[in-house]
Structure 1
Amino acid sequence: MRPRRSVLYIPGANERAMEKAATLAADALVLDLEDAVAPEVKERARQRACDAVAAAAYTGREVAVRVNGIGTEWHDADLRAVSAVGPDAVVVPKVDSADDVRAVETALAEVGAPANTAIWAMIETPAAVLRAEEIAGASDALTVLVMGTNDLAKELRAEPGPGRAPLLTSLSLCLLAARATGKSILDGVFNDVRDTEGFEAECVQARQFGFDGKTLIHPNQLEACNRVFTPSEAEVDHARRVVAAFEKAAADGLGVVTVDGRMVENLHVEQARRVLAVAETVRTRREG
């Protein structure tokens, strides 16, 4: 299991930010060649990001590169350059259909990308939301859906505030699509880096919805995000007791078991084992 509690965007044109990223406690980094990079420095950012991937500058965490969108003048060159260094994933913005996913998959194969370089598809438009299951199921190479909530809000002409009411339908539909197809899904960014309470509340909301983690725009957001998406000691203790009670009941030939006065079924055991797997992976990463 790869935890993706915190996924931090790093502007590919910002040399200082890319150097600092090696010291940050993000589960994954997205070296950005798209929104965070002005047109006149696209090529420089591409080279810098590829050099960092080739040099294995970010050991111990997942590294993806966000290329420029399909149909832009930089997209094809981005795919060629990124494929040559083989990051863990290529993040593709504004994916609107299954055909977009298949086109990227074909292009990566044609330019010799390693088989283990995955595709992460960004869901940023109403069309993408309505086709989210089709997009998520388009290819086994696609492993993660990434919510692009800023662009989505713009396309919807929405004004999301605390609680994000105008986006909840879209978030729910995409989460359903990810779970129906066995893919991971990341929540969108929180723009006000000074609003720590608002950010943490949005992390809590995302975890309650079932998101695997959240994309971030500033290192100051890492601590709260990692904390919220990490199972607490109480959750881990409860999960251990659920698994132990269920296994003992099974060994004794009993079909029903209770923990803390509540009946435990297979679905609860599956949830408990996932909590334990996440907690163990996070612990191993900390100690490593």
Structure 2
Amino acid sequence: MSEFFVDNTARPRRSLLSVPAINLRALQKLSSLTCDGAIFDLEDSVAPEVKDEARDNLLSVFRETPLVNREAIIRINPLSTTAGRKDVDAVLSCLPHAVLLPKVEQPSDVHELADLLDEADAPEGMQIWAMIETPRGILNAAAIAEAAHTTGSRLGAFVVGLNDLRKDTRVPARPGRTYLVPWLMQVVLAARAYGLDVIDSVSNDFRDLDAFATECEQGRDMGFDGKMLIHPAQIEAANAAFAPDEAALAEARETIAAFAKPESVGLNVINMNGRMIERLHVTGAERLVAIAGIIAARKAENQ
């Protein structure tokens, strides 16, 4: 079974590879890949007639070849469907780090799943991630994010889904995602307002890796923590784009060291190289350094 992370503030989520749970061969290969986590998909990529087989695949993989030191997320079907209820039973058998709930449009969607997990005594560390992928979901992003501050909500992250959003809004797929950027930023803002991580949408053309790398850089600059992927070929570019910047990392270490000095004890603001730095920046600096440490440790293990 998966092991839960102790510190939720220090999880690299640069690359989250979505794999259809019906594809047993792909599931078994996950342990050899360098993505930060895997989204085991029981929803759109699995046809109705083989969903039972897909659930059986997950039980086998979680038992025999679990991900080590990386996040495992299971995307279920909507709870309004029979498939969704069966998926929750599979989740409780597999015990992933998180459950990804599709088409979240209101806080009650999150609370309903949280109640089911609580009733089944699921581990407290098991999170709920919300797919924001409909016009109503975008409009209600802040209200949904606020659900994270409700006792027992389990909400930990947003994942943007642009394919459904494009379909519903009739905005075509164009390079640069020009007309989608305002909505993407709205989701980022809502997530940050309530302390959630936020993951950028998939890029459907996995053959054009240059365009994908550009989209990763755009997502990073918009404030996303990482990207949902559909092919292993996309892992390297996502890991590179969303990795801590070396200059930012050096500044983070300097900030931590500066506030640790005896003369800085009790001070909320200090002068660091001619710039005024507030103590509140230490938390972010510590998170960045912790994430960089995890990434470096994984890289050393794979060499």
CA distance in 1, matches of 2:224, 2:286: 17
Answer whether contact 2:160 2:201 (CA < 8 A) is retained.
yes
**Is 2:234 aligned against 1:225?**
no
**Is 2:180 aligned against 1:171?**
no
Please give the secondary structure, in 1, of the residue aligned with 2:12.
Answer: coil
Structure 2 CA distance for partners of 1:271 and 1:60, relative to 1, 3 Å:
closer
Structure 2 CA distance for partners of 1:165 and 1:53, relative to 1, 3 Å:
same
Structure 2 CA distance for partners of 1:117 and 1:247, relative to 1, 3 Å:
closer
Structure 2 CA distance for partners of 1:9 and 1:251, relative to 1, 3 Å:
same
16-25 vs 108-117, greater mean Cα deviation: 108-117
**Is 2:20 aligned against 1:6?**
no
CA distance in 2, matches of 1:255, 1:92: 41
CA distance in 1, matches of 2:124, 2:281: 35
Please give the secondary structure, in 1, of the residue aligned with 2:175.
Answer: coil
Q: Which AA in structure 2 matches 1:118?
A: Q
Correspondence 1:133-144 to 2 at 5 A = 133-138=142-147, 139=150, 140-144=153-157
CA distance in 2, matches of 1:205, 1:79: 34
Answer whether contact 1:160 1:166 (CA < 8 A) is retained.
no
What does residue 280 of structure 1 align with? 293
What does residue 4 of structure 2 align with? none
Correspondence 1:224-243 to 2 at 5 A = 224-243=237-256
Structure 2 CA distance for partners of 1:157 and 1:280, relative to 1, 3 Å:
same
Correspondence 1:49-128 to 2 at 5 A = 49-55=58-64, 57-128=66-137
User: TM-score, normalised to structure 1's length?
Assistant: 0.92
**Is 2:33 aligned against 1:24?**
yes
Please give the secondary structure, in 2, of the residue aligned with 1:7.
Answer: strand
Answer whether contact 2:41 2:74 (CA < 8 A) is retained.
yes
Answer whether contact 2:41 2:75 (CA < 8 A) is retained.
yes
33-42 vs 247-256, greater mean Cα deviation: 247-256
213-222 vs 203-212, greater mean Cα deviation: 203-212
* Cα displacement (A) at 1:262: 4.1
Q: Which AA in structure 2 matches 1:106?
A: D
* Cα displacement (A) at 1:124: 0.7
**Is 2:165 aligned against 1:156?**
no
Of 248, 252, 264 in structure 2, the residue corresponding to residue 250 of structure 1 is: 264
CA distance in 2, matches of 1:75, 1:29: 19
CA deviations on 1:51-71 (whole Å, 9 max, x unpaired) are 222335212211111111232
* Cα displacement (A) at 1:179: 1.0
Structure 2 CA distance for partners of 1:53 and 1:270, relative to 1, 3 Å:
same
**Is 2:56 aligned against 1:47?**
yes
Answer whether contact 1:84 1:112 (CA < 8 A) is retained.
no
48-57 vs 181-190, greater mean Cα deviation: 48-57
* Cα displacement (A) at 1:268: 4.7
User: TM-score, normalised to structure 2's length?
Assistant: 0.87
Q: Which AA in structure 2 matches 1:258?
A: M
CA distance in 2, matches of 1:256, 1:110: 49
CA distance in 1, matches of 2:283, 2:113: 34
Please give the secondary structure, in 2, of the residue aligned with 1:96.
Answer: coil
- Identity over aligned pairs, percent: 43
**Is 2:218 aligned against 1:202?**
no
Structure 2 CA distance for partners of 1:110 and 1:274, relative to 1, 3 Å:
closer
185-194 vs 70-79, greater mean Cα deviation: 70-79
Of 36, 40, 45 in structure 2, the residue corresponding to residue 36 of structure 1 is: 45
Aligned length: 287
Cα-Cα RMSD: 2.1
Structure 1: 5+ residue runs without aligned partners? none
Answer whether contact 1:193 1:218 (CA < 8 A) is retained.
yes
Answer whether contact 1:26 1:222 (CA < 8 A) is retained.
yes
* Cα displacement (A) at 1:233: 3.1
